[in-house]
Amino acid sequence: MDLMCVVDQNGGLYVRANSEQELVEALEKTLERLGRDWRSRVRCAVAANDAPPHLLARLARDWSPAVRERVAASTATPAGLLTRLARDRSSRVLLALVGNPETPDAALAETGRRLGGRGVHVMSALGLGVTGTLAVRRALARRRPPAAQR
């Protein structure tokens, strides 16, 4: 296997991959580099593509609510990190947690408290009512397209 992988698009740094393991390492380096890109849309794409937990942890502290929202929506995000994101200031992040089937119940409860009155309006807009986190999860699961279900 003789492949070349771009690690840093602007600097022109290339890594030769002669084995599957070297290819994996090169792709991991690429993902790490993209996770530090100055453009938030690039960091959003990294977070949305099942990045490794250590990279998701860094992106969960990103200045951009859009990046943190993608981390909160990712089913690859560890439960502890989802729980930490339940204390985020951004309602976008909190709403992404509600839609993530992997979000622990305690994080959903915290999310509901953080959303306060906005949570009632959100649940109402989704046609969910406010009858508890289990009902929220079931309703969201029913609304999710089959391809998104596991």
Does residue 116 have a pLDDT over 50? yes
Q: What is the mean pLDDT of the chain?
A: 76
Number of structural domains (the chain) is 2
Does residue 128 have a pLDDT over 50? no
Pairing label, strands 13-17, 3-8: antiparallel
Q: Tell me the C-alpha distance between 58 and 130, whole Å.
A: 33
9-18, 63-72, 134-143: least confident range:
134-143
Same domain, residue pair 7 and 73: no
Same domain, residue pair 45 and 99: yes
Does residue 1 have a pLDDT over 50? no
Domain that holds residue 48: 35-144
Does residue 150 have a pLDDT over 80? no
CA dihedral (47, 52, 55, 56) in degrees, to 10, reads 50
Does residue 69 have a pLDDT over 70? yes
Does residue 5 have a pLDDT over 80? no
Q: Tell me the C-alpha distance between 93 and 44, whole Å.
A: 13
pLDDT at 122: 55
Does residue 57 have a pLDDT over 60? yes
Does residue 21 sit within a domain? yes
**Segment 139-148 long-range contacts (CB within 8 Å, at least 24 positions apart):** 140/98, 140/99, 140/101, 141/101
H or E element: which one contains 89?
Answer: none
Same domain, residue pair 75 and 45: yes
Q: Tell me the C-alpha distance between 87 and 142, whole Å.
A: 27
Same domain, residue pair 5 and 54: no
**Beta partners for residue 15, in sequence order:** 5
Same domain, residue pair 64 and 95: yes
Does residue 100 have a pLDDT over 50? yes
pLDDT at 40: 92
Does residue 150 sit within a domain? no
Q: Tell me the C-alpha distance between 16 and 112, whole Å.
A: 49
Q: Once rounded to an integer, what is the mean pLDDT over residues 39-61?
A: 92
Does residue 79 have a pLDDT over 80? yes
